[in-house]
Structure 1
């Protein structure tokens, strides 16, 4: 009872009453500023909505925010449009973009001042006597040492945010180009399939019409068996390319973020990119603008700050405390102290060594990445040069062969050339047409590989609707 009365007496004084009110106010302010927990369970409804196909309106709304021309989904999509679409609808990229929000939260956290620590104490005397009263104190500790590195922490968090942002953008670039490459590949595979199917139809019609003549010995078995072997071979080609088309289509749908059963209509025209710049200019552009290089630079700048922080960590770290109170004889007091560590043995040398080694690792990784880019540009450029020359040679040859094919067909109708002879020639021409399309496909894919390597579109009007 005595202790209780002493406590109420201390509260009744004006100074103590004000202190009590202030403490209650601070306590209420802290409670009202606290974040509130909101659950987000993995329900089937939420998951099904997330896996649903993104609506066209939603896609174009996001494109308009980025000042990109909207996509007309009533028309077949170009390879470039497929790449743009995949950036918005790819599920993996949606998850990666959440890292940007984490990085923003880390910048916000780094900019916050350290919270003070309040330690109230109340001492009840265990012996009684004249003038003996309960003692109390209110300690207020504040880590003032962290203020010295606050600006560095915030700068480091901003560099990390830039690194994450560039990393996410780089993944978007890779996904867009992967979708464009698959769409381009699908275009050329369909062109090859069309040539093979046409040739297969010609051979099948010949075999169906020639079979009765073989039984009556009015047709050479050698000619018939040769065309039959050609037919079997072209059927195998047809099955192989159908399987490749199906596989490429599945990969394209997966990259875009569409379900396996979805249908996508691709444009039936493809415009080849214009000529490339020289390798030196391409490397300069890649070094300056490639997003993964910018991410590495931001990561290196972040590590530079980490080294500075580690060096500062070898100096004393200060903590300040203030503690007003009252002793057990009712005498009030106000105390003040500063605590700091003595860098005698550790001196943060281990952290400094790790920070320096990490910086050196990032530097060498940066140099290695530039070396690989330069080598890749040279290798792809060489492949493009070779493929371009081969395509020029084949195009010059195909022009004469196509004219000959038309002439032989007319001679067959005039009965000046036998049908088996024409079919043999046409079969060889069809194989050359497929090889030419395959060469053009390789060339187109090499251009896209150069886009990825340099981080820039080689031709803004590379694809168009017919």
Structure 2
């Protein structure tokens, strides 16, 4: 076997090592920040391909932007296009990079020395010293570090899924608010047109001297009140539309055509109520907390493993100036009492306890929120039954009052009060239906039912 040419290795070794390091290095490319708002291309419209969505009910949606969109289609569009969700998905890449780094093996360290005799010396040759060292401490804790990083990635992914749930729910609430305002304004517009028509007749009669001006003035006050309600609704509608546009990544004011309110399904509510015991396996936020707790368990395990002496091994080959060759090894370790491990263990134990308590509080809060939503739905259903039961009588009374006013049997204020009572009842019934839809959406978010239900 041909002996190793050490002097030659000393000359070319560092260059070869440098070339290897440079070949394995990543390159840097600058990415400047944008100076302008990057709206989604309004000509292309929002993304509509849903098959890659994590929620099965939304993944099955077929979205036609030319037709009125139902509540599930709007939720799917929000999950697909919300820029904040894209930013969250980008941040998940950091956790995956950390998990990759945690799985890397420790890097061996190579060292080379060369001593050249100078001046008057009895040396016979140039001395050298080659060393290869490896820190074994990282190998001892690698398993715990990798497990902690994997659970952290899972927690981040579940956190993003929970954000998708919340985005879908927020889009549904905006949808319900916009449709509710549309239905409310339909009632107010009907009332406004009736008052405006009567006001025109009353002004004509006042001009002809047939009726007093005070009659027209009384209807003008009522008309002004209705117009103020319509103006307030317009401001609220603009705010809700702006929120929905932001979720869809659209410029402000680019409204989509919406269908009607979803029907209340008592069976779905009962199914949601029956899922309380399965919340830890349904809700992504609870699952993310569990994954974060599992990650902290491994982090604590890593800290416990780190309290043992960290060991390093070095292999060396050397030649001194008198041409004596040696081959040796060295072992170094740090004393656990001096490496700060008791402090790290105490911190990790305290962190685990904090995560334990946070999960317990969140679980209790989840049960409380579900119970409150169910109680609200029960009250709203009872209120709806009462409102519907009394509506026909108010409609009949308003019609009778209108006929009596035309025949002169009652005064205008009396007819106005009866008409206002009917409008108030209709508005209350519309608000009740909107509140039931909102509470149903909240219950679905809290229990993983409706559009959040798992497949099969």
TM-score, reference length from structure 1: 0.87
Compare 295-304 and 118-127 and name the one that shifted more: 118-127
Matches within 5 A, 1:26-105: 26-44=17-35, 50-53=38-41, 59-61=47-49, 63-64=51-52, 67-105=59-97
Aligned to 1:7: none
1: CA distance, partners of 2:272 / 2:404: 51
Q: How big is the shift at 1:127?
A: 3.9
Aligned to 2:266: 274
Aligned to 2:188: 196
Aligned to 1:180: 172
1: CA distance, partners of 2:339 / 2:327: 35
Secondary structure at 1:60's aligned position in 2?
coil
Q: For residues 89 and 384 of structure 1, do their structure 2 counterparts lie closer, same or farther at Cα, with a shift above 3 Å needed?
A: same
In the comparison of the two structures, how many residue pairs are matched?
445
1:72-98 deviation line (CA, Å, top 9, x unaligned): 111121122111111111111111001
1:262-308 deviation line (CA, Å, top 9, x unaligned): 22211145323434127862322323210010000000001111111
Q: Which runs of 5+ in 1 are unaligned?
A: 1-11, 461-466
2: CA distance, partners of 1:279 / 1:271: 16
2: CA distance, partners of 1:257 / 1:43: 16
Compare 179-188 and 102-111 and name the one that shifted more: 102-111
Q: How big is the shift at 1:409?
A: 5.7
Q: For residues 65 and 219 of structure 1, do their structure 2 counterparts lie closer, same or farther at Cα, with a shift above 3 Å needed?
A: closer
Q: How big is the shift at 1:245?
A: 1.4
Q: Does 1:138 align with 2:126?
A: no
Secondary structure at 1:41's aligned position in 2?
coil
2: CA distance, partners of 1:162 / 1:13: 50
Aligned to 1:341: 334
Compare 268-277 and 298-307 and name the one that shifted more: 268-277
> Residues 46 and 250 of structure 2 are in contact (CA less than 8 Å); yes or no, is this contact kept in structure 1?
no
Matches within 5 A, 1:158-177: 158-177=150-169
1: CA distance, partners of 2:50 / 2:379: 40
Secondary structure at 1:191's aligned position in 2?
helix
Among 369, 391, 394, which residue is 2:387 paired with?
394
Matches within 5 A, 1:210-289: 210-214=202-206, 218-219=210-211, 223-268=215-260, 270-275=262-267, 276-277=269-270, 281-289=274-282
> Residues 63 and 70 of structure 1 are in contact (CA less than 8 Å); yes or no, is this contact kept in structure 2?
no
Q: Which runs of 5+ in 2 are unaligned?
A: none
> Residues 187 and 423 of structure 2 are in contact (CA less than 8 Å); yes or no, is this contact kept in structure 1?
yes
Q: For residues 62 and 108 of structure 1, do their structure 2 counterparts lie closer, same or farther at Cα, with a shift above 3 Å needed?
A: farther
2: CA distance, partners of 1:207 / 1:57: 45
Aligned to 1:8: none
Q: How big is the shift at 1:432?
A: 1.6
2: CA distance, partners of 1:170 / 1:32: 41
Q: For residues 81 and 458 of structure 1, do their structure 2 counterparts lie closer, same or farther at Cα, with a shift above 3 Å needed?
A: closer
2: CA distance, partners of 1:285 / 1:56: 42
> Residues 279 and 378 of structure 1 are in contact (CA less than 8 Å); yes or no, is this contact kept in structure 2?
no
Secondary structure at 2:133's aligned position in 1?
strand
> Residues 50 and 76 of structure 2 are in contact (CA less than 8 Å); yes or no, is this contact kept in structure 1?
no
Aligned to 1:385: 378
Q: How big is the shift at 1:124?
A: 2.3
Among 349, 361, 367, which residue is 1:356 paired with?
349
Among 430, 448, 452, which residue is 2:441 paired with?
448
Q: For residues 453 and 65 of structure 1, do their structure 2 counterparts lie closer, same or farther at Cα, with a shift above 3 Å needed?
A: closer
Aligned to 1:368: 361
Q: How big is the shift at 1:408?
A: 5.8
User: Superposition RMSD on alpha carbons, in Å?
Assistant: 2.8
Q: For residues 54 and 358 of structure 1, do their structure 2 counterparts lie closer, same or farther at Cα, with a shift above 3 Å needed?
A: farther
TM-score, reference length from structure 2: 0.89
Q: How big is the shift at 1:347?
A: 5.7
Among 293, 298, 320, which residue is 1:327 paired with?
320
> Residues 326 and 332 of structure 1 are in contact (CA less than 8 Å); yes or no, is this contact kept in structure 2?
yes
Q: For residues 103 and 55 of structure 1, do their structure 2 counterparts lie closer, same or farther at Cα, with a shift above 3 Å needed?
A: farther
Q: How big is the shift at 1:62?
A: 5.2
Q: For residues 172 and 409 of structure 1, do their structure 2 counterparts lie closer, same or farther at Cα, with a shift above 3 Å needed?
A: same
